[in-house]
Chains A and B, each alone.
Chain A
Amino acid sequence: MLKKILTNVLACAALACAGVAVADEAPDVLVKRISYEVLDTAKADKDIQGGNQKKVLELVEAKILPHIDFQRMTALAAGRYWREATPEQQKRLSEEFRALLVYTYSGAISQVREQKVEFKPLRAAPSDTEVEVRSQVVQPRGEPIQLNYRLEKQATGWKIYDVNVLGAWLVESYKSSFSTEISKNGIDGLIKALSDKNKRLAAASAKPAKNS
Chain B
Amino acid sequence: MMRKLSRSSFAGMALAIALTGCASTNPQDPLEGFNRAMFSFNDTLDKAALKPAAEAYQAVLPSFVQTGIGNFFGNLGDVWSAVNNFLQGKIEAGALDLVRVTANTTLGVLGLFDIASDSGVPKHEEDFGQTLGSWGVPSGPYIVLPFFGASTVRDTVALPVDLKGNIWGYKEPVRWRNTGTVVRLVDRRASLLDASNLMEDAALDRYQFIRDAFMQRRLNNVYDGDPPADIKDGKDGNDSQE
Q: Which residues on A are within 8 Å of B, measured CB to CB?
A: 72, 75-76, 79-80, 82, 100-101, 103-105, 107-108, 111, 134, 138, 140-144, 146, 166-169, 171-181, 193-194, 197, 201, 204, 212
- Contact partner of A181 among B204, B219, B240, CB < 8 A? B204
A141 touches B191 (CB 8 A): yes
Would A80 and B238 be within 8 Å (CB), given that A142-B123, A180-B25 are in contact?
yes
Chain A residues within 8 Å of B212, by CB: 168, 172-173, 175-176
Pairwise interchain contact B242-A75, C-beta atoms closer than 8 A: yes
Q: Report B-chain residues with C-beta under 8 Å of the C-beta of A104.
A: 198, 201-202
> Which residues of chain A come closer than 8 Å to B198, judged between CB atoms?
104-105, 107-108
Count of interface residues, chain B, beta-carbon cutoff 8 Å: 39
24 contacts between A and B (CB under 8 A): A76-B240, A79-B240, A80-B239, A104-B198, A104-B202, A108-B194, A111-B194, A138-B122, A140-B67, A141-B70, A142-B74, A142-B191, A143-B122, A166-B213, A168-B212, A168-B214, A171-B240, A172-B212, A172-B216, A174-B209, A176-B205, A176-B208, A180-B208, A197-B204
A167 contacts B220, C-beta separation under 8 Å: yes
Min CB gap A30→B, angstroms: 22
Residue on B with the closest CB to A165? B213
Asked if residues B209 and A82 are in contact (CB atoms below 8 Å), the reply is: no
Pair A173/B216 contact, Cβ less than 8 Å: yes
B114 touches A176 (CB 8 A): no
Report whether A143 and B124 are in contact in the complex, using a CB–CB cutoff of 8 Å. Answer: yes
B203 within 8 A of A: yes
Write the nearest CB–CB distance from A164 to chain B, whole angstroms.
8
Contact in complex: A173, B209 (CB < 8 Å): yes
Cβ–Cβ < 8 Å partners of A101 in chain B = 202
Chain B residues with CB under 8 Å of A111's CB are 194
B202 and A167 contacting across the interface, CB-CB below 8 Å: no
- Bound form: Cα–Cα A103–B226 in Å: 29
Within 8 A of A (CB), among B168-225: 191, 194, 197-198, 201-205, 208-209, 211-214, 216-221, 225
B203 pairs with A143, CB closer than 8 A:
no
Interface residues of B in 129-153 (CB under 8 A from A): none
Q: Which residue of A lies closest to B203 (CB)?
A: A177
Known: A107-B197, A142-B191, A166-B220. 8 other contacts (CB 8 A): A107-B201, A140-B67, A141-B191, A167-B220, A168-B213, A171-B240, A177-B204, A194-B204
Q: Given the complex, which residues of B lie within 8 Å of A80, measured CB to CB?
A: 238-239
Contact A144 B204, beta carbon cutoff 8 Å:
no
8 Å CB contact of A103 from B201, B204, B218, B236: B201
Residue from A111, A141, A175, A181 whose CB has the most chain B CB atoms within 10 Å: A141
- A169 cross-chain contacts in B, Cβ below 8 A: 216
B242 and A72 contacting across the interface, CB-CB below 8 Å:
yes
Contacts of B216 in A (CB 8 A): 167-169, 172-173
Contact bitstring B5-28, A, C-beta under 8 A = 1, else 0: 000000000000000000001100
Contact A144 B122 (CB under 8 A): yes
B23-71 residues at the A interface, CB under 8 angstroms: 25-26, 67, 70-71
> B122–A177 contact, CB under 8 A?
no
